[in-house]
């Protein structure tokens, strides 16, 4: 008992140095994480400003890789624009899928509203979906959502779009 007490006491006595060690370790871990976060994967962290000229990314379940480009580019404020959307099976975007459907919607999370109109796919040829009727009626931060459906299965990818 006395020995244990002494040991505990001794450990506590030596506990002053240990705290600095975890502290020293924590910053190291944080430093290690920062560069990784800074080196954002373009497939998962598109620049909202750049996304106004098109982007690509993977759906949340990791099944589909979506690539889109607006016309005109970049996306104009309060003017109709079209999108060309392609869906691939792989991140290298080499395997174009022609057996999927897409639906595109816009949302302004900061304002809690979407678009005033509903976009629709007007043609789908060889895996290229032409979406007409897009209209981002105000400047600011938009989310461009692409829902990809294959048979009865659907996954979404959200692209941040910043309009000046």
Task: In angstroms, give the least distance from the CB of 111 to Cu ion.
Answer: 3
Return phi, psi of residue 129, to 5°: -100, 125
E strand or H helix at 32, and its extent?
Answer: helix 20-38
Distance in angstroms (rounded) separating the CA atoms of residues 42 and 28 = 26
Task: In angstroms, give the least distance from the CB of 78 to Cu ion.
Answer: 11
Q: How many residues bind Cu ion (CB under 5 A)?
A: 3
DSSP string, 49-76: TGGGG-EEEE-TTS--EEEEEEESSSPP
Instruction: Considering the complex, state which of residue 23 and residue 117 has its C-beta at the smaller distance from Cu ion.
Output: 117
Stretch that binds Cu ion, among 40-48, 95-103, 111-119, 141-149 (CB under 5 A): 111-119
Stretch that binds Cu ion, among 42-50, 55-63, 69-77, 110-118 (CB under 5 A): 110-118
Binding mask 122-141 for Cu ion (x = CB under 5 A): ----------------x---
Among 108, 144, 157, 161, binds Cu ion (CB under 5 A): 108
* Contact status: 148 vs Cu ion (CB under 5 A): no
* Contact status: 161 vs Cu ion (CB under 5 A): no
Spatial CA neighbour of 146 closest among 101, 108, 111: 101
**54 CB-near residues (< 8 Å, 6+ apart):** 67, 68, 69, 70, 73
The DSSP symbol for 77 reads T
The DSSP symbol for 75 reads P
Among 111, 116, 117, 120, binds Cu ion (CB under 5 A): 111
Task: In angstroms, give the least distance from the CB of 54 to Cu ion.
Answer: 22
Distance in angstroms (rounded) separating the CA atoms of residues 66 and 128 = 11
Contact residues for Cu ion, defined by CB under 5 A: 108, 111, 138
């Amino acid at each position: 008992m006395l020995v244990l007490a002494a040991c505990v006491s001794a450990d506590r006595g030596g506990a002053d140095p240990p705290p600095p060690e975890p502290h020293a370790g924590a910053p190291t871990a944080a430093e290690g994480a920062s560069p990784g976060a800074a080196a954002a994967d373009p497939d998962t962290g598109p620049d909202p400003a750049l996304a106004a000229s098109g982007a690509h990314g993977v759906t949340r379940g990791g099944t589909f890789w979506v690539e889109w480009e607006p016309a005109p580019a970049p996306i104009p404020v309060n003017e109709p624009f079209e999108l060309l959307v392609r869906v691939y099976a792989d991140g290298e975007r080499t395997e174009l899928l022609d057996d999927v459907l897409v639906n595109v919607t816009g949302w302004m999370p900061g304002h809690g509203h979407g678009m005033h109109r509903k976009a629709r796919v007007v043609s789908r040829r060889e895996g290229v979906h032409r979406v007409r009727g897009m209209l981002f009626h105000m400047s600011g931060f938009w989310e461009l959502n692409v829902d990809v459906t294959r048979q009865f299965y659907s996954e979404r990818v959200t692209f941040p779009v910043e309009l000046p």
